[in-house]
Structure 1
Amino acid sequence: MEARVFPLTCTALPLSPASSSSSHGRLWPSPFKPKHAPKTVLRKSKEEPLLEGLPKEYYDDEWQARQREKTKELHQRRQEEDEEEERKVEEYREIGMRLKGYPEEDVRKARKLISSFIRAAEEVEEKIEEAAEKGELTELVLMVIWNRLDLARRDEEKDVIRSLDLLYRRVEAEILKREATPAMRLLNDLLNMHDGYDGEGWLKECKKRMVDTFPREDPFSILVPEGFDIDKHQGPLRLPLEADDVLLRVDFVREVDALLQEVKAEQNEVQNAQGLDAESIASRLKQQEKQRAIRLVEAVLDLAINLKW
């Protein structure tokens, strides 16, 4: 039996890239193939694709320029804030260094005294006068009050500023009163007698106080001492020794006139603020208050010049 050989023929199947990739994709899924391919949209210039999730303005040159300008302004503002903070810290350090030259014990006593003034509330006037009589009101006390006032101003504590400012003025006035000459003490007392309304009644009270304070200057009182009986020609002929605290009218007139000239010269140098902000209004009110005080002092001076017993 003759064996027949049948040639094995294979017909090549055409493989296209699409069929190949699809069959391989179905049979052997690649782990590196993303589930969602990124969408790319070409720019109008067809140079750079837009990434998904970013605004279109990101690729706008003008928008980017504005963003860079905003960033620059932000950095500048932060730098200014840092500089302001550093300046405040330096100011606080300077305030704290003001008292370094004073003994710690004296500073502690001054702070304790000021705390007692603050707690005294309505009785603060009596407390201040009592401290002045004991000699406790010094430059250090004023310095401690000023330091607290300075800190309150930097922290913008309006109520504290007002209270400390009044306390500083009152303590300063008491110190000046104790250190003032008899003429300035009398002037201060006369001004404090004014109630702000009755000018004529105030002038009458001032005249009475002057008559009681100044020694008589008429020729008879000078030639005939106190206690001498002119009818019997009996009594001491020796003039009494002048006391250290005797205030002559001429000395009072001279000191008050010098004070007025000095104050008026300062007022002429100050320019009145014309703005409507709080600082300008406060400055104008302060100048008006000074002008009223000057008019009162002028009235006192005129009364002393023309005083008759």
Structure 2
Amino acid sequence: MDANSLLLRNLSTSPPSPLLFFNFTLPLPTSHCHFNSNKPLKQFNPATASGNSVAVVRRCVAGKEVEIILEGMPNEYYDDEWQAQQKEKAKELERQRQLEDEEEERKIEEYREIGTRLKGYPQEDVSKAKKLISSFIRAAEEVEERIEEAAEKGELNELVLMVIWNRLDLARRDEEKDVIRSLDLLYRRVETEILKREATPAMRLLNDLLNMHDGFNDEGWLKDCKKLMIATFPREDPFSILVPTGFDIDKHEGPIRPPPDAEDVLLRVDFVREVDELLQEVRAEQNEEADAQGLDPESIANKLKQQEKQRTIHKVEALLELAVNLKV
């Protein structure tokens, strides 16, 4: 038998150590700690407190309020004025938190309201309108041609304006200035094109005449407008009605063209009447508007808008006078 086997055998046959049966118990203390309420507590005076960090706990003993010093607390902890300031700060923070929560709730409600504007429209039409607007944005410098092309196809409608307005609202709430400027111009351009398609021939001609102005040469502009009016309005002399243009009355020969479609003809008298009604309506609205006062940005912007509107009114008045005195 080797040494290892002999050692294992001796260990297995040896009696257990008496330490395994020893009871490790400690006697409990026979006395308990008691707080003697009859013993006077040390009174604390903040005025005589040392520079060490201490604090007090107020307790009522025998009907009297006493203060117990607590070590490790700042001196301000038991200062009534400091406590009042902390309470006011806590109230102010709570008010700010409530205001922030209300503002956040208001923004969420606005976003929810924007998202529900298009629920009344068919989803397929909304998707087409969004794709059309995306094509306008991607067109970049060719956006004018793209808008006119869409107008000719009849793709511009109220839904397209609503989708642009929704995106503009979101950009305003997110304070994206460049996006706001671009979408605002796009909205105005699409709206103008829609109004142009829905306007009467007189209003379309008026819009074309106003767009011909370059902002500098008024005389040259009026000459160009006169040429366009002569080319647009039909001749009004009785002879032209009896004898069409190009017809030889002596030989009774010449081309006889059928009368143009009544819907495409714009008479000078109709143009004068509609423009005069427009001016009367605009003047009535202008009289109701008060002149902008003050030097704040909003007042200055309103004043500039009124000045621009007044310049446009003067141009329309000049066109009306030109149409009244025009001989065709």
User: Of residues 206, 221, 234 in structure 1, which corresponds to 2:252?
Assistant: 234
Who is 1:280 aligned against? Answer: 299
Query: Equivalent residue of 1:197, what SS?
Result: coil
TM-score w.r.t. the length of structure 2 is 0.75
Who is 2:285 aligned against? Answer: 266
- Give the conservation status (yes or no) of the 8 Å contact 1:253–1:304: yes
1:85 and 2:112 aligned: no
1:103 and 2:106 aligned: no
1:243 and 2:247 aligned: no
User: Of residues 169, 189, 194 in structure 2, which corresponds to 1:175?
Assistant: 194
Which whole-Å CA distance do the structure 2 matches of 1:77 and 1:57 have between them? Answer: 25
Who is 2:156 aligned against? Answer: 137
CA offsets per residue over residues 16-70 of structure 1, 9 Å max, x none? Answer: xxxxxxxxxxxxxxxx9xxxxxx99522499546644444344333333232222
- Give the conservation status (yes or no) of the 8 Å contact 1:43–1:50: no
CA offsets per residue over residues 180-219 of structure 1, 9 Å max, x none? Answer: 1100110011011001111110000001100111112234
Q: Which aligned pairs between 1:4-153 and structure 2 lie closer than 5 A?
A: 42-44=45-47, 48=67, 51-153=70-172
Deviates more, 1:131-140 or 1:214-223: 214-223
Residue 281 of structure 1 deviates from its aligned partner by: 3.1
1:303 and 2:322 aligned: yes
- Give the conservation status (yes or no) of the 8 Å contact 1:40–1:51: no
Who is 1:209 aligned against? Answer: 228
Amino acid of the residue matched to residue 179 of structure 1? E
- Give the conservation status (yes or no) of the 8 Å contact 2:44–2:69: yes
Amino acid of the residue matched to residue 173 of structure 1? T
Which whole-Å CA distance do the structure 1 matches of 2:283 and 2:77 have between them? Answer: 68
Residue 264 of structure 1 deviates from its aligned partner by: 2.0
Which whole-Å CA distance do the structure 2 matches of 1:53 and 1:269 have between them? Answer: 74
Who is 1:26 aligned against? Answer: none
TM-score w.r.t. the length of structure 1 is 0.79
Check 1:52–1:284 CA distance in 2 against 1; reply closer, same or farther (3 A cut).
farther
Who is 2:23 aligned against? Answer: none
Residue 296 of structure 1 deviates from its aligned partner by: 1.2
User: Of residues 155, 180, 187 in structure 1, which corresponds to 2:174?
Assistant: 155
Residue 292 of structure 1 deviates from its aligned partner by: 1.7
1:166 and 2:185 aligned: yes
Identical counterparts, % of pairs: 77
Who is 1:294 aligned against? Answer: 313
CA offsets per residue over residues 83-108 of structure 1, 9 Å max, x none? Answer: 11111111111111110011111111
- Give the conservation status (yes or no) of the 8 Å contact 1:191–1:296: yes
- Give the conservation status (yes or no) of the 8 Å contact 1:128–1:171: yes
Check 1:109–1:65 CA distance in 2 against 1; reply closer, same or farther (3 A cut).
same
Who is 1:253 aligned against? Answer: 272
Who is 1:197 aligned against? Answer: 216
Which whole-Å CA distance do the structure 2 matches of 1:274 and 1:65 have between them? Answer: 47
Residue 227 of structure 1 deviates from its aligned partner by: 4.2
CA offsets per residue over residues 210-241 of structure 1, 9 Å max, x none? Answer: 011111223443454434445x27369x9964
Amino acid of the residue matched to residue 234 of structure 1? H
Residue 129 of structure 1 deviates from its aligned partner by: 0.6
CA offsets per residue over residues 110-157 of structure 1, 9 Å max, x none? Answer: 101100100111000011011111111111111100000011011111
Check 1:242–1:122 CA distance in 2 against 1; reply closer, same or farther (3 A cut).
closer
- Greater RCO, CA 8 A, separation 6+: 1
Gaps of 5+ in 1: 1-31, 33-38
Who is 1:7 aligned against? Answer: none
- Give the conservation status (yes or no) of the 8 Å contact 2:43–2:67: no
Which whole-Å CA distance do the structure 2 matches of 1:233 and 1:62 have between them? Answer: 117
- Give the conservation status (yes or no) of the 8 Å contact 1:42–1:50: no
